[in-house]
Every structure is written in C-alpha cells, then in structure tokens.
Amino acid sequence: MKNEKTLLALRKKVCGGGRMPNLNKVADLLKEVGIECSIMNWSCMKYGSAAGLRYNTSGGSREYNGYRLKVPQINMDIDSTETYYSWNTEGYAEELVKLIDTKL
C-alpha cells in the first residue's frame, strides 16, 4: 500500500498519540482504498470580539490557509482552518480508520 504511513499515523492518532496527517495525504489514502472524497485548498479570516467590537486577531488581517476534506459516505467535512480542528482530530481519525477498515 502506497499510503501505509498515513494509515499508521491515523491509527496512532486514534490511540491518543501522534499528529493528524496532512489532509492531502489522507485524501490520497482514501482514494487508494476506493473511498470517494474531495480535497480543496481552503482559507478563512479569523476575527475576535472584545466588548462587542469586531476586530481581526493579532491586531490586523489574519488569514489562515489550510484544506477542506469531504467524505460523503460518512457525511464528514473536515476544515483544517476551523478553530477547534486540533481538538477534534482524534475523532476525525477514528471515523476515518473505521471507514478504511471496512474497505481493507
């Protein structure tokens, strides 16, 4: 399997260790095992709020660049620019590994 390292990284993430693999690599893995998905470059502007006033974080325009991965089979939409992306990666990895295991 060409993307075996990505699968191992996902399994490690499920067990509470390691980092979430790059979403591009995850998309390559899903396509390799025959799971429909789409990956696209994604960006967003992050804003904060103090005393009800809108302002950009870091004192100026702050654009975050990342990826968005959609897996229609399990209704998954992962946005790496999302505020809580890091917090949710273990859950994403668990759902992806379950799906991949059904195809292997």
| 13-59 residue pLDDT tens | 999 888 999 999 999 999 999 999 999 999 887 665 555 555 544 55
Domain residue ranges in the chain: 4-103
Alpha carbon distance 95, 92 (integer Å): 5
**Cα 80 from chain centroid (whole Å):** 5
| 48-61 residue pLDDT tens | 555 555 554 455 55
Q: Of 35, 33, 55, give the one whose Cα is nearest residue 45.
A: 55
Angle value at C-alpha 77, between 92 and 81, nearest 5 degrees: 85
Name the pTM for this structure. 0.83
Q: Of 51, 25, 18, 24, give the one whose Cα is nearest residue 40.
A: 24
